[in-house]
Structure 1
Amino acid sequence: MLAFIYSRFEMVHDALFVLVKMKEQNLRPSIQTYNSLLYNLRHTDIMWDVYNDIKDSGTPQSARTSSIIVDGLCGQSRFRDAVLFLRQNDGKEFAPSVVSFNTIMSRYCKLGLADIAKSFFCMMLKYGILPDTYSYNILIHGLIVAGSMEEALELTNDMEKQGLQPDMVTYKIVAKGFHLLGLMSGAREIIQKMLTDEGLKPDLVTYTILICGHCQMGNIEEALRLRRDLLSSGFQLNVILYSVLLSSLCKRGQVDEALQLLYEMEANNLQPDLVTYSILIHGLCKQGKVQQAIQLYKEMCFNRIFPNSFAHSGILKGLCEKGMLSDARMYFDSLIMSNLKPGVTLYNIMIDGYVKLGDVEEAVRIYKRLRDKAITPSIVTFNSLIYGFCKNRKVVEARRLLDSIKVHGLEPSAVTYTTLMNAYCEEGNINKLHELLLEMNLKDIEPTVVTYTVVIKGLCKQRKLEESVQLLEDMRAKGLAPDQITYNTIIQCFCKAKDMRKAFELLDDMLIHNLEPTPATYNVLIDGLCRYGDVEDADRVLVSLQDRNINLTKVAYTTMIKAHCVKGDAQRAVKVFHQMVEKGFEVSIRDYSAVINRLCKRCLINEAKYYFCIMLSDGVSPDQEIFEMMLNAFHRAGHVHSVFELLAVMIKFGLLHD
């Protein structure tokens, strides 16, 4: 008893000392005492000394003895020794048990060797040992992790044929497998089977697997429905599960719904943690609801949950994106003055904020403060500064900054080079652009789609249109798929070159490669036809797109209206104008002004008056510019009566008092 108790309390050396004393008294320890000691020593070589002592003493061994030895050998990654031990004990009274086989199968499955585990499953049957539910669960889990879902399901069916009913663990494993494969419908079927066929009640873990799976697949509605089922079944959700739901809602922009879940947590006496608050703060900031985010930040601090850099970065980024840079600066300065040590991320946010505002000098000052604090800048820091210099047309300084990146132990990224290349492209310095592209290749930095688009834009500026088309093929050869912006860039250049045939060939090429043209693509083509081709062709394209229910922007319609006004076809312009209104586009005073101006220039007085009347009937108040435009046109045309009518309208709108 003393040796056994020592062993149970892991006082191994004391237990061994007692065993020595027992030997001196010719007392034989029980196998339970030996097994307890073996279990505590199973991860050491002393295990063999104890096992040899068992054999020497003649103490009858039990099935648990061999199971402990096998477990110990597997724990020491001595799988061959474990298998050899099983074979040596085959046919003895303490022959390997199902537990020993389960141990080996479990170890091989954890190593991702489900096929080897399956061979031991077959060996078990060969020895006449019937697998238990645990055996099946081990192998089913191993097969699912290895991606053999179909085989795992077959094993589940075989389990039932052998008279073993799948338990809660089995169903959890299969449900998780469906989740890993993104087959959430299969997971739902498993839950339904648990409820109907087996009469099992899914537990919190099963529901958690399903809810997390639906959230990952973007099916937040189904995840919320499961949450309601969970609550109605009497379960209490934990903070982690709420955080998963909150994160999914925030990613979809449903921040108000996420806040409702926060209130539900608090109502259920669940204290939100740092992760929960951080998710909501970021979500609110992305929606531009910075004040609400700050309020939540204060609540977080009140609950003695102190925010980390992730939460701070959310608020800081939100303030910058909303244009509240002075507030962002005050918040940033307060963080620096506090005990918190801001990391490079917070400095990057401020640098990026000033760069986007155009204040590159202040961005540089923030960068110098970062250096003074002995904080290592990241490649994001340099990318922002290079973008700022390029935006301010200080390309020489940007290039100098690129050369200094290596000093900080960093390597420029594709974004770094692309930003600088775009600046050279804008300057028309194509040679420098090609130099940077060559430098990228020498450094094994793979150009991105954006990089190639910049190069194509540079080639187009030099009117090297055929080379730009060839670059599309080069992109595909390197496994990069040109996007809509790439195509739009080339299409626009062919339109300017008055080669509309090639422009439409490129449109066909987009469709051949399953790339859906954007409204901007059609805008470019319609504008090209109106400017450099035939307006009638543009009309036919517009009608064709309308017949195919392709979504067009307001730009396409205004382009057509202007083109018809320039041609003097006021009737067709009016028709397109009505189509634009029917599509639900909001017509502003600027739109009316542009059309009236063109009609007046073409001396189409009646048509100009018609548009003016439509503008008034739509409740759009004309401004001084429109009145003066029309007065001049009526005066030139000698429409004296129309002049006085217009003057009366001006008085009515308070634009004329004398």
Structure 2
Amino acid sequence: MFRLTTRQRRLLPLRFFTSSPSFCSISSAAAVTDFPQNDVVSQIICHFISSPPRYSHKLLLNSLRNSNWFRKEVPDLEPSEIESIIEKISSQSAIEFFFLLQNEFGFKHSQNSRFFIAHLLAEKRRYRALFCHMRVVIEEQGSGSAPLLCELLLKSFMGWDSNHVVWDMLAFVYSRTDMVHDALVVLTNMKDLNIRPSIMTYNSLLHNLRETDRVWDFYSELEDNGLQPTDYTYSIFLDGLCRQSLVLEAINFLREINKEVAEPCVVCFNTLMSGFCRKGLIGIAKSLFCMMFKYGLTPDRYSYNILIHGLCVSGSLEEALAFAVDMEKCGLHPDQVTYNILSKGFRLLGTMNGVWMVSEKMLLTEADPGLLTYTILICGNCQTDAVGLYESLLEKGIPPTVVTFNTLINGLCKARKLAQARKWLDDMKMHNVEPTIVSYTTIMNAFCEVGKLEDTFELFEEMKKNGIEPNQVTYTVLMKGLCKRGKLEESVAILRDMLGKGISPDQTLYNALIQCFCKARDFKRAFQLHAEMVQLNIKPNVVTYNILINGLCVYGDLIVAEKLFYDLQCQNFKLPKVAFTTLIKANCAKGDVEKAMVLFHQMAETGFEISLKDYSAVINRLCKRSLLNDAMDFFRMMLVGGIAPDQQICSVIHYSLHQAGFVIAEFQVYVLMIKFGFAPG
């Protein structure tokens, strides 16, 4: 147990550690090259504290890392021995030695050692490293671990100079990892110790609780503790009020903020506008936009994008376009987000055959339409000859940009007019506009989707010939096209080429490849790709494991799928709900109802919400296999759990019981259907 406070550790002279005869017998030269064969702990301590001052921490660590003696002894070291070592060496050496053992030797440190290092990191104000360190500790311990960790801090680290920082970081990391209950446990302990949480921790918890009534209590507690809310704090609280449909309270709170602060906050207005747009209250959002000017604020690009998006969603595309043009007049050039919003709006309106109506009206009302106006209109009209708008742009003497061409190409690709899209790619150079990686990749993706793989690779070669290096998206498009054709080995070759050029793939790319090999029933290659991800430090995510589990259940071996599932559970990997439901369905289809029932209970105990859909999937499969007693068990469990059945599931059970001649059970279901107002079939 660590009894020394950090203040005491700083006051202890070096001779306190070197006065022992066992230490003094070791020369400085030996400390960095080889070690005499006596007490291992003493030797390691002496290695750090008896070395000449000119030796850096890095040199000392490297000498250990490269020592055959040390590598041989590490597996036999006990966590308590490591505690003894890091307690007696300097702070920086202790930190680096701790992570050397953990990261390179896979050493399992004690919780005492971990919190000792946490306090040293806090003392050195290495807050980012402290956050990462505490996140590893918390993710390993999992949900519900707060009481244990709090008890350890109370027993072993009271009085340390940096103790309040570690407590606060513990609460913050629990909140950031969505373990809100644990974060609240830590806060309760902090309150008892008179340790005030930071505004960072309060903000994180406010964000997690913003859709609950508790957000009020936490905001009040923040003020009671004398903390000054930040713009982010106000933004979170306002967002919470909007999500709870507390419109009047949100507006009143905004007014109070503007009275209290010297400068009103644009972010707060944006948050409220976004919240009201989500609720469909566009009128209130527009009023807030106007109110910003009253308070002397200038709307930013985000303010405009919020309103433009809200207006597009509500079908007021004409007004959205007016805001977009006004945005440019105010010196705020639309960004990619603006273009995407308007593009979606046009497509929405296009389904109602109203695109040209808006286009003509806009051209009539705009005395001198600019590049933005034409680009937006081209984007919206790509599926209904946009070429006319493009020619009108040229007649006005407005030179098109790469954005104009890329917008036109993108629209033509979505309309499956690939020959025209390819022609516009060539025509760009006629206007002294060089195609970009986006230009090529957009058309390549369209060719892949219609199965024109040869044309895709022709464009790929042309792009490289023109000096444009492919990026991750380009490679993903190629691999997707090859997978569609069943050319899996060729797609892996593309991956190798990508890695050879130093372009790092991501989880999405590997997941797509793994899924293709699973569908091809080549699970050996699928798991090889998974191992490669780990080797390249591309952490497999829930999608990766869901693909593997689902693939094994559908195309492979259920036993292997279950082994993978339980191995991940043992590693405290948080599996998604779909992993449970996939295995449950597979076991039902196989007729192993007992396993399906165990998994069903595990799914509920893990905290996933069990829905009517989950019960229906199981009951349907059991009825198909004529396992009616088991189907009725799940049906009763559903009713006891307070989930009302629907017409479909009642009809399935009623019909199955009728066919099997289960008269009494059939009558019971018949009565239940009448009770719920369903018509028995």
Give your verdict on TM over 0.5.
Answer: yes
Whether the 8 Å contact between 1:351 and 1:384 is mirrored in structure 2 is no
Q: Distance between the aligned counterparts of 1:439 and 1:251, measured in 2?
A: 49
Aligned partner of 1:579: which letter? Q
**1:327 pairs with 2:311:** no
| Aligned-residue offset at 1:577 | 1.3
**1:582 pairs with 2:605:** yes
Q: Distance between the aligned counterparts of 2:317 and 2:489, measured in 1?
A: 48
Aligned partner of 1:615: which letter? M
Whether the 8 Å contact between 1:265 and 1:271 is mirrored in structure 2 is no
Q: RMSD over aligned Cα, in angstroms? A: 4.2
| Aligned-residue offset at 1:255 | 8.5
**1:435 pairs with 2:451:** no
| Aligned-residue offset at 1:337 | 8.5
| Aligned-residue offset at 1:270 | 3.0
Whether the 8 Å contact between 1:220 and 1:249 is mirrored in structure 2 is no
| Change beyond 3 A, Cα 1:592–1:467 | same
| Change beyond 3 A, Cα 1:639–1:657 | closer
Q: Distance between the aligned counterparts of 2:426 and 2:294, measured in 1?
A: 47
**1:295 pairs with 2:284:** no
| Aligned-residue offset at 1:271 | 4.5
Q: Distance between the aligned counterparts of 1:183 and 1:280, measured in 2?
A: 31
| Aligned-residue offset at 1:514 | 0.8
Match of 1:620, SS state, is: coil
Whether the 8 Å contact between 1:355 and 1:384 is mirrored in structure 2 is no
**1:399 pairs with 2:422:** yes
In the other structure, the counterpart of 2:504 is 481
In the other structure, the counterpart of 2:216 is none
| Aligned-residue offset at 1:280 | 4.4
Whether the 8 Å contact between 2:670 and 2:680 is mirrored in structure 1 is no
Aligned residue-pair number: 425
Q: Where do 1:11-26 residues align within 5 Å?
A: none
| Change beyond 3 A, Cα 1:308–1:600 | closer
| Aligned-residue offset at 1:544 | 0.6
Aligned partner of 2:672: which letter? V
Match of 1:345, SS state, is: coil
Write out per-residue CA displacement over residues 337-378 of structure 1, whole angstroms, 9 at most, x where no aligned residue. Answer: 999478762873554223664838835475667965876655
In the other structure, the counterpart of 1:524 is 547
* 1:423 maps to which of 440, 446, 453: 446
**1:645 pairs with 2:668:** yes
Q: Distance between the aligned counterparts of 1:222 and 1:606, measured in 2?
A: 52
In the other structure, the counterpart of 2:212 is none
Aligned partner of 1:270: which letter? A
| Change beyond 3 A, Cα 1:436–1:356 | farther
| Aligned-residue offset at 1:540 | 0.8
* 1:594 maps to which of 614, 617, 620: 617
Q: Distance between the aligned counterparts of 1:185 and 1:344, measured in 2?
A: 35
Q: Distance between the aligned counterparts of 2:488 and 2:427, measured in 1?
A: 35
Match of 2:288, SS state, is: helix
Write out per-residue CA displacement over residues 297-317 of structure 1, whole angstroms, 9 at most, x where no aligned residue. Answer: 111233465647664334214
* 1:267 maps to which of 259, 270, 274: 259
In the other structure, the counterpart of 2:492 is 469
* 2:591 maps to which of 563, 568, 580: 568
In the other structure, the counterpart of 2:188 is none
Q: Where do 1:135-174 residues align within 5 Å?
A: none
Q: Distance between the aligned counterparts of 2:276 and 2:470, measured in 1?
A: 33
Identity fraction in percent = 39
* 1:315 maps to which of 279, 285, 307: 307
| Aligned-residue offset at 1:403 | 3.8
In the other structure, the counterpart of 1:221 is 200
Whether the 8 Å contact between 1:313 and 1:349 is mirrored in structure 2 is no
**1:354 pairs with 2:333:** no
Write out per-residue CA displacement over residues 594-615 of structure 1, whole angstroms, 9 at most, x where no aligned residue. Answer: 2111111111101111111122
Match of 1:557, SS state, is: helix
| Aligned-residue offset at 1:406 | 4.1
**1:559 pairs with 2:582:** yes
* 1:619 maps to which of 620, 632, 642: 642
Q: Distance between the aligned counterparts of 1:252 and 1:422, measured in 2?
A: 42
| Change beyond 3 A, Cα 1:474–1:299 | same
Write out per-residue CA displacement over residues 423-453 of structure 1, whole angstroms, 9 at most, x where no aligned residue. Answer: 2222111112112211221222222212211
| Change beyond 3 A, Cα 1:332–1:645 | same
Structure 1 unaligned segments of length 5 or more: list them: 1-181, 187-218, 225-230, 232-236
| Aligned-residue offset at 1:282 | 4.7
| Change beyond 3 A, Cα 1:616–1:400 | farther
Whether the 8 Å contact between 2:309 and 2:320 is mirrored in structure 1 is no
Q: Distance between the aligned counterparts of 2:237 and 2:509, measured in 1?
A: 28
Aligned partner of 2:200: which letter? E
| Change beyond 3 A, Cα 1:508–1:612 | same
Whether the 8 Å contact between 2:588 and 2:596 is mirrored in structure 1 is yes
| Aligned-residue offset at 1:634 | 1.4
| Change beyond 3 A, Cα 1:222–1:532 | closer
| Aligned-residue offset at 1:651 | 0.6
| Change beyond 3 A, Cα 1:390–1:280 | farther
Whether the 8 Å contact between 1:343 and 1:375 is mirrored in structure 2 is no
Q: Distance between the aligned counterparts of 1:251 and 1:440, measured in 2?
A: 46
* 1:606 maps to which of 624, 629, 633: 629
Shifted more, 257-266 versus 497-506: the winner is 257-266
| Aligned-residue offset at 1:386 | 3.9
Q: Distance between the aligned counterparts of 1:223 and 1:626, measured in 2?
A: 46
Shifted more, 451-460 versus 410-419: the winner is 410-419
Write out per-residue CA displacement over residues 73-110 of structure 1, whole angstroms, 9 at most, x where no aligned residue. Answer: xxxxxxxxxxxxxxxxxxxxxxxxxxxxxxxxxxxxxx
Q: Distance between the aligned counterparts of 1:524 and 1:505, measured in 2?
A: 14
Q: Distance between the aligned counterparts of 2:453 and 2:433, measured in 1?
A: 27
Q: Distance between the aligned counterparts of 1:560 and 1:304, measured in 2?
A: 59
| Change beyond 3 A, Cα 1:611–1:309 | closer
In the other structure, the counterpart of 2:433 is 410
Q: TM-score, normalising length from structure 1? A: 0.56
Q: Distance between the aligned counterparts of 1:396 and 1:281, measured in 2?
A: 46
Whether the 8 Å contact between 2:343 and 2:380 is mirrored in structure 1 is no
Write out per-residue CA displacement over residues 480-520 of structure 1, whole angstroms, 9 at most, x where no aligned residue. Answer: 11101111111111111111111111111111111111111
Match of 2:316, SS state, is: helix
Write out per-residue CA displacement over residues 153-202 of structure 1, whole angstroms, 9 at most, x where no aligned residue. Answer: xxxxxxxxxxxxxxxxxxxxxxxxxxxxx97899xxxxxxxxxxxxxxxx
Whether the 8 Å contact between 1:246 and 1:261 is mirrored in structure 2 is no
In the other structure, the counterpart of 1:511 is 534
Structure 2 unaligned segments of length 5 or more: list them: 1-124, 130-197, 204-222, 243-249, 356-376
| Aligned-residue offset at 1:332 | 2.5
Q: TM-score, normalising length from structure 2? A: 0.54
Q: Distance between the aligned counterparts of 2:653 and 2:232, measured in 1?
A: 57
Write out per-residue CA displacement over residues 535-585 of structure 1, whole angstroms, 9 at most, x where no aligned residue. Answer: 111111111111111121111111111111111111111111111111222
Aligned partner of 1:435: which letter? E
| Change beyond 3 A, Cα 1:592–1:473 | same
Whether the 8 Å contact between 1:348 and 1:380 is mirrored in structure 2 is no
Match of 2:470, SS state, is: coil
